[in-house]
């Protein structure tokens, strides 16, 4: 080989990691950016897919839910590794109420008779499905006990819109058992709404059109839901508050004062049980009444009817209402310069069963990061700020481990927490980052620095390619006009919720997906075999997740000036504000014209007189609201954000006070009074929907007041949101001056 | 009772038949309008649902297809009635090629084995389904003979867009048997496209999601398709030309010169057979290959795969290629003033089987009209113009009876035919009128004068109510801004096609529907029992159809000035012109941006590298076209139309020459050269789609040239359409002066 070929080789390297040396890094000066990127390369060199695979295989051998003996073993396994890698590791315990099933009975009593199996088949093709010591059978945690017998009413997804349809058909769930399919809203909304409408029980099944053979080949031929598969899951009323149902607002320590169980507002009001489509078929087949509207039809080979009845079922549920210990593993590596500024990185460890995908595929990435950072620290390159790795317990049943720890340490975390980086499982495909928009720019810089293992381009480029191919014209046009990709706002569904929405700690949630197929979610089939066949063979995206979440953690831990930024936040919140203004406007027009149609009698002429469907009921007309307070607050925030942006880009060194102002900026967005009817949720920009569950509502106080037609509190909520945004604007102004 | 109460009673009558006496009637002066409406009331008094019911019951007793002994009996039955009512009645015979099945074999040869039943179950609940003398088993008429064995490829609906999807997956039907579901396009398009793509056979089945238990309860529990039900139907290439395959352009008289069968271009190139979803299930279950995209999934309880194979089937089809006699019943009542001006009113009489809904429910309305008009004539109130009632044979197999009669009498009809009013079955609900926009205003006047039997408002008001409830914002806004409802342009699928699209005779097609449910179409279950349970119990809408089609016929037959009008036509054609301009514009932008995406390589980054789906192929960029010739023609037509409108409303009496110019106005829109590649279709405003079948294409030459990217002929077609519109403008100008 001739020497002159060498420059060609380095050119190739430049192509592979494009322009990094030339690209600035938020929070670092030019030299700092170079050395940070060198450090991250070194970090990467410690990541090993083989490690991740071995840890995943071991921890997912058998079921390991909260309160199980195997769960305790997994905790020790994790803690030992952290200790081995040099972390100050403790196992923090909380005493929490955890119901496990004692009696589960479901039968069709007429017409005909069918006793539901309520079990999942073990499969020869997947040995893990025979390792079922400590198996939790299919159930919904925090269903109340009860025995009920009544006719069935099919409520589709059981959303507010579905009940409006039933009302038009004159069908009520009052005194009936609602049978709903999974999807359309978070599962906990289904029994909550059904109970509000007078139902005495709820069944939830996975329809094969959504999650079964309709979606693709079923396990073990393919990844999709086996006919016996049942999605377990918590139905605690998390949009009211997550965590231990007996200790809202406070840590569930041994000595904590507790509600009586019967006073716990987040336990369901009626019994609820999830079932497979194999068990749903005989029940739905036995139903009569009106044929459902087209959008309600599922994938079973029957005509779907809404009832009520004649199918009549008996449902009996009894639970062991045990107090069990939840174990969080908390592993600290103290910061060399700012030990009281904590960058927290977490993933839960409890699974509904084997939990290979959920949560272990995320946890092994976190462990890989911890090992790599431990190695850097051991080489004298430890972080400026303290990094805390957390493996949470009892996430599945209600974000309990994280919530109790956050409540227990609220004061300290409010003072010290710089940010929280969450993962909760992983798959193959495209990076997804959701979270606080003060971290949007940093998140984008990270995506531009990590290479996709399948294509060799950056994960940012891959995500952009997908948006270019699948996005709307608006999304495509924004790809050209906006430098950064938008990160999505967070609702609920994982452990970031208490950090972000209760304490106002800037948070990110990160995962890859879109190419791994799945029907294993919360079933017995979430095994190592399923995961490595269908979701991330070889755990190559496990390493990618370590690279993305690791960089986010490292930049927050090493940056002289914390990589927070406010122009992206202002841009996104302006969008949300436009949305709620448009929502009010559209609802006003639609309500007016629909009420006019109803009053004019056209429905009576348009509807088939031989059918039961009737005109909708008129709705309260939407008044005009003033959004001026929010518009003014946004103007102030935009100005301050632009000015701070100039400061951040100027290379001015950050004082300690600057960094405190930066990482407490998200605190400005919470307000101790919380959201209407749910004071635990204090964030006025992001919250889970009260009637949608996990799905986010941005500007939630304002948006939900409009959506739920509580017109009298809309302007109050506009003012509340304006107050927190003004508070942030003042804080950013202080940073900019 | 006091005398003073009488005015109150007449007020009630005014409410029931609102404002008619005050409302002008196109073609009549004020006094003429009053007496015409009085005549129509008298006409109504002769209509009797009991008559319709008795005729329907008798004629639908057993199957009665073209060439059957029972078909001949039905012809006599109809003719006898016409004669009885005073009509000059003849039975006009044509000798046509009619294939009926001799061999139908279909089996899955591997993996496993399944022999398709290919029969429909007789049902105890419906005695007609055991009266099956002369039953035609399920088949597609004008499939070629053949025996083929090959792997299956699932092609969804078998449309051009579906083949683009297959191409992206690298799946070809070359040398395979395509299995397609009914829907998405006219059935004849499926074997036509499959053959063009290299397939050697086609199966067509009714998917239960579209037409079976997915749509609602199945027969006999409900109206929807029984698991054994098969939609028969012609697959002759009607978008090339309808009618007897051996005698294009000429009547199939005994002595007519004929093509050799092997030269007939409208017989399929490959064998094709329709099957039930009961027979399709084992075939589709045995398929492998890629899982189909979400939009392709049907309602069978399986995962749908596109193949090819491994399912391998053998299909053997042999037909009796018989020459049979088609019998049209033609019943004339001579006009008192203008016997050589003919108003033609038709409905076919042949059915695939019992044919209660299709066609008899429309035919009995026609017979009711004929009886009523006969009574008026007997009372000395006969029509000014000749009225011709026609009951066509062999419609089902390819619009043969009507087409041969039209071709046979082309010169006479071109001179004499004022208009053609078609029906082809009926149901319960809302009136639907499609057709020539020169008759749009008259059609609207009719709808405003007929009362809906279920609600007591006019059928116009009921239709408006439905559009108000279900329509888009644009439709709702037009309900306020436009006086008349738009009538829909006609494609093909019934006997108006030769009148309108070959000879340029203004036509309407009328039927009620939207509240009668159906899965019986072209199956053995299209019986009297099914019809009177689910479609029009008591034939009350049968009478409404007589009232609507009767008024249209009567006004054309009695009006001093023919009720043609051109502002509505101009308005609709302007809309079509805007559509084709927008089509070119949208296709240009989409092609540009999609080609740019393909060239940029984003697909390679966005698609899952482990799957077979690939980027689409680039398409020819769309040049800019000049539509100026059409815009200029439309400007001239709009001016002339407005001026004629003033004349028509002024009460100026019409000369004989005026009326000839009026009823030949539609002739201006045809051009002897016809459409590209299909000279039989001479109308340049309305045609069935060459690759969609029954569905209409307006401005078809221009629109299809753009859609099929035959850019070199677009402006030629713009000029051809402009030529006919200019010709019409000149004719209307002559009328206006």
pLDDT tens profile B330-373: 999 999 999 999 999 999 999 999 999 999 999 999 999 999 99
- Which whole number is the average pLDDT over B627-644? 98
The average confidence (pLDDT) of chain B is 95
In 3D, which of B396, B348, B301 has the Cα closest to residue B78? B348
Looking at CA atoms only, how far is residue A606 from chain B in angstroms? 4
The list of chain A residues with pLDDT below 50 reads 1-20
Distance from CA of A457 to the nearest CA of B (A): 8
User: Could B606 and A299 be called an inter-chain contact, meaning their C-beta atoms sit closer than 8 Å?
Assistant: no
Distance CA A507, CA A490 (A): 9
Are the Cβ atoms of B214 and A609 closer than 8 angstroms?
no
Question: Mean pLDDT throughout B38-58?
Answer: 98
Answer whether B605 sits within 8 Å of A297, measured CB to CB. no
**Residue A479 to chain B, least CA–CA distance (Å):** 13
What 3-state DSSP class applies to B272? Answer: strand
B222 reaches A (C-beta below 8 A): yes
B610 interaction partners in chain A (CB closer than 8 Å): 515
pLDDT band at B462 (very low <50, low <70, confident <90, very high): very high
| A184: nearest Cα among A203, A161, A216 | A161
The yes-or-no verdict on residue B532 having pLDDT over 50 is yes
Quick one: closest CA in A to B296, which residue?
A: A214
pLDDT above 70: percentage of residues in chain B? 97
Residue ranges matching CATH 3.40.630.10 in chain A: 3-95+324-558
Cβ–Cβ < 8 Å for B710, B675: no
Tell me the pLDDT band of B21, cut-offs 50, 70 and 90: low
- CB crowding A430-454: b at 16 or more within 10 Å, else e: bbebbbbbbbbbbbbbbbbbbbbbb
In 3D space, the residue among A569, A579, A580 whose CA is nearest the CA of residue A729 turns out to be A569
- The per-residue pLDDT for range B130-150, each reduced to its tens digit, is 998 889 999 999 999 999 999
- CATH number of this structure's domain A99-321: 3.50.30.30
Cβ of B457 within 8 Å of Cβ of A605? The answer is yes
pLDDT at A651: 83
Contacts of B213 in chain A (CB under 8 A): 301-303
Take residue A11 and report the two structure tokens written for it.
């050119």
- The reply to whether B466 touches chain A by the CB within 8 Å rule is yes
Q: What is the mean pLDDT of residues B73-79?
A: 98
At A13 the pLDDT is 38
Sequence-distant contacts of B126-130: CB under 8 A, at least 24 apart = B126/B219, B126/B220, B126/B525, B126/B527, B126/B529, B126/B530, B127/B529, B128/B60, B128/B61, B128/B62, B128/B354, B128/B356, B128/B527, B128/B528, B128/B529, B129/B524, B129/B525, B129/B527
pLDDT digits (tens, 9 = 90+) for B307-339: 999 999 999 999 999 999 999 999 999 999 999
Check B465 against A603: CB less than 8 A apart.
yes
Contact A299 B299 (CB under 8 A): yes
- Number of Cβ within 10 Å of residue A611's Cβ equals 11
Q: How far apart are CA A521 and CA A525, in angstroms?
A: 8
C-beta separation of A357 from A425 below 8 A: yes
Between chain A and chain B, the number of residue pairs with CB atoms below 8 A apart is 100
CB of A733 within 8 Å of a chain B CB? The answer is: no
Q: What is the pLDDT of residue A691?
A: 86
Give the pLDDT of residue B134. 83
CATH 3.50.30.30 fits B96-320, yes or no: yes
pTM of full prediction above 0.90: yes
Nearest to B609 among A302, A454, A465 (CB): A454
Distance CA A486, CA A571 (A): 10
User: Hey, which residues 490-519 in chain A have their CB within 8 Å of chain B?
Assistant: 515
Residue from B602, B607, B614 to probe the interface with A (highest A Cβ count within 10 Å): B602
Whole-number pLDDT of residue A693? 77
Q: Which residue of A has its CA nearest to B477?
A: A593
Comma-separated ranges of CATH 3.50.30.30 domains in chain A:
99-321
CB B152 within 8 A of CB B170: no
Closest CA to A347 of A361, A363, A331: A363
| CA-CA-CA-CA torsion sign (A473, A475, A479, A480) | positive
**Where in chain B do CATH 3.50.30.30 domains reside?**
96-320
Angle at A678 between CA A675 and CA A683, to 5 degrees: 40
Q: What is the pLDDT of residue B734?
A: 96
Distance from CA of B619 to the nearest CA of A (A): 16
Q: Compute the radius of gyration of chain B from its Cα atoms.
A: 26
Q: What is the pLDDT of residue A444?
A: 98
Contact B463, B469 (CB under 8 A): no
Q: Which residues of A are catalytic?
A: 395
CA nearest to A468 within chain B: B602
pLDDT at B516: 84
Cα–Cα nearest to A210, from A181, A233, A235, A180: A181
Q: Where in chain B is the domain with CATH 3.40.630.10?
A: 28-95+324-455+503-558
Distances (CA, A) of B284 to B154, B277, B278, B317: 8, 10, 11, 21
CA-to-CA distance for B667 and B501, rounded, in angstroms? 10
Query: A552-603, pLDDT tens digit by residue?
Result: 999 999 999 999 999 999 999 999 999 999 999 999 999 999 999 999 999 9
**Cα distances (Å, whole numbers) of residue A14 to A4, A9, B345, B450, B453:** 17, 9, 79, 79, 79
Spell out which residues of chain B touch residue A603, defining contact as CB-CB under 8 Å: 465, 469
Contacts (Cβ under 8 Å, ≥6 apart) of A354: A60, A61, A62, A63, A64, A128, A131, A524, A526, A527, A528
**Sequential DSSP letters for A244-267:** -TT-TTS---TT-----GGG-TTS
Is B604 in Cβ contact with A297 (below 8 Å)? no
Q: In a 3-state reduction of DSSP, which class is residue B468?
A: helix
Q: Which of B79, B59, B56 is nearest to B68 (CA)?
A: B59
- The residue among B343, B275, B328, B672 whose CA lies nearest residue B507 is B343
pLDDT at A21: 52
Indicate the helix (H) or strand (E) that contains B265: none
- How confident is the model at residue A15, as a pLDDT? 39
What fold is seen in the domain B28-95+324-455+503-558? Answer: Aminopeptidase (3.40.630)
pLDDT of A134: 83
Q: At the topology level of CATH, where does A3-95+324-558 sit?
A: Aminopeptidase (3.40.630)
Residues in A 618-637 with any Cβ partner in B closer than 8 A:
none
Using a CB-CB distance cutoff of 8 angstroms, which residues of chain A are in contact with residue B465? 602-606
Cβ distance B222 to A303 less than 8 Å, yes or no, reads yes
Contact list in B for residue A219 (CB cut-off 8 A) is none
Which residues of B are annotated as catalytic? 395
| B interface test, pick of A207, A208, A210, A214 with most B CB neighbours within 10 Å | A214
Residue of B nearest to A537 (CA): B610
CATH number of B567-736: 1.20.930.40
Tokens of A677: 């009817």
**Interface check B672 vs A, CB under 8 A:** no
Q: Looking at the complex, does the CB of residue A217 fall below 8 Å from at least one CB of chain B?
A: yes
Instruction: Please indicate whether, in this complex, the C-beta atoms of B217 and A606 are within 8 angstroms of each other.
Output: no
């Amino acid at each position: 080989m001739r020497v002159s070929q060498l420059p060609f080789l380095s050119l190739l390297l430049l192509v592979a990691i494009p322009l990094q040396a030339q690209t600035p890094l938020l929070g670092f000066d030019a030299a700092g950016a170079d050395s940070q990127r060198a450090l991250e390369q070194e970090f990467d060199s410690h990541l090993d897919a083989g490690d991740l695979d071995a840890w995943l295989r071991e921890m997912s051998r058998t079921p390991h839910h909260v309160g199980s003996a195997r769960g305790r073993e997994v905790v020790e396994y994790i803690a030992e590794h952290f200790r081995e890698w040099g972390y100050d590791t403790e196992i923090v315990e909380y005493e929490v109420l955890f119901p496990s099933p004692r009696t589960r009975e479901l039968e069709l009593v007429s017409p005909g008779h069918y006793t539901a199996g309520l079990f999942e088949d073990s499969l020869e093709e997947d040995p893990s499905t025979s390792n079922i010591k400590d198996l939790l059978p299919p159930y919904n945690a925090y269903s109340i006990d009860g025995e009920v017998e009544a006719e069935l009413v099919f409520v589709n997804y059981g959303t507010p819109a579905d009940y409006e349809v039933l009302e038009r058909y004159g069908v009520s769930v009052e005194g009936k058992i609602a049978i709903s399919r999974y999807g359309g809203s978070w599962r906990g909304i289904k029994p909550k709404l059904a109970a509000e409408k007078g139902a005495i029980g709820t069944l939830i099944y996975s329809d094969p059109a959504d999650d079964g053979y309709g979606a693709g080949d079923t396990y073990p031929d393919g990844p999709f839901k086996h006919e016996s598969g049942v999605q377990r899951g918590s139905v605690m009323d998390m949009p009211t508050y997550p965590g231990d149902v007996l200790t809202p607002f406070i840590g569930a320590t041994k000595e904590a004062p507790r509600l009586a169980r019967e006073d716990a507002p987040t336990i369901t009001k009626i019994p609820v049980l999830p079932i497979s489509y194999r068990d749903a078929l005989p029940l739905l087949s036995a139903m009569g009444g009106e044929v459902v509207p087209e959008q309600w039809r599922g994938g079973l080979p029957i005509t779907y009817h809404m009832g009520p009845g004649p199918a009549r079922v008996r449902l009996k549920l009894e639970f062991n209402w045990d107090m069990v210990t939840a174990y969080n593993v908390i592993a600290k590596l103290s910061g060399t310069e700012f030990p009281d500024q904590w960058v927290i990185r977490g993933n839960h460890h409890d699974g509904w069963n084997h939990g290979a995908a959920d949560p272990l595929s995320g946890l092994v990435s976190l462990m890989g990061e911890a090992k790599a950072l431990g190695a850097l620290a051991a080489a004298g390159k430890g972080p400026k700020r303290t990094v805390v790795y957390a493996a949470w317990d009892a996430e599945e049943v209600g974000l309990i481990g994280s919530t109790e720890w956050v409540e227990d340490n609220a004061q300290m975390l409010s003072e010290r927490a710089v940010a929280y980086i969450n993962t909760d499982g992983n798959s193959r495909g495209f990076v997804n980052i959701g979270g606080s928009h003060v971290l949007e720019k940093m998140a984008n810089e990270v995506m531009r620095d990590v290479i996709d293992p399948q294509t060799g381009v950056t994960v940012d480029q891959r995500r952009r390619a997908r948006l270019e191919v699948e996005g709307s014209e608006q999304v495509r046009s924004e790809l050209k006009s906006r430098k950064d990709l938008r990160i999505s706002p967070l609702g609920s569904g994982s452990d970031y919720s208490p950090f972000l929405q209760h304490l106002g700690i800037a948070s990110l949630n990160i995962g890859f997906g879109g190419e791994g197929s799945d029907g294993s979610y919360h079933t017995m089939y979430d095994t190592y075999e399923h995961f490595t066949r269908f979701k991330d063979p070889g755990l190559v995206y496990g390493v990618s997740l370590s690279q993305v979440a690791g960089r986010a953690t490292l930049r927050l831990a090493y940056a002289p000036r914390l990589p927070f930024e406010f122009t992206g936040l202002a841009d996104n919140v302006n969008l949300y504000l436009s949305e709620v203004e448009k929502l009010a406007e559209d609802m006003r027009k639609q309500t007016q014209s629909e009420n006019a149609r109803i009053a004019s009698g056209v429905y009576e002429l348009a509807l088939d007189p031989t059918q039961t469907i009737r005109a909708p009921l008129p709705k309260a007309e939407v008044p005009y609201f003033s959004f001026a307070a929010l518009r003014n607050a946004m103007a102030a925030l935009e100005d301050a954000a632009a000015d701070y942006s100039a400061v951040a880009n100027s290379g001015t060194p950050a004082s300690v006070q600057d960094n405190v102002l930066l990482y407490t900026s998200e605190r400005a967005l919470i307000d101790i009074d919380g959201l209407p009817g749910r004071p635990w949720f204090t964030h006025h920009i992001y919250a889970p929907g009260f009637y949608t569950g996990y799905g986010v509502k941005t500007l939630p106080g304002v948006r939900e007041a409009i959506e739920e037609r509580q017109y009298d509190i809309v302007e109050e909520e506009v003012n509340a949101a304006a107050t927190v945004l003004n508070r942030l604007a003042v804080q950013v102004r202080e940073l900019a001056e």
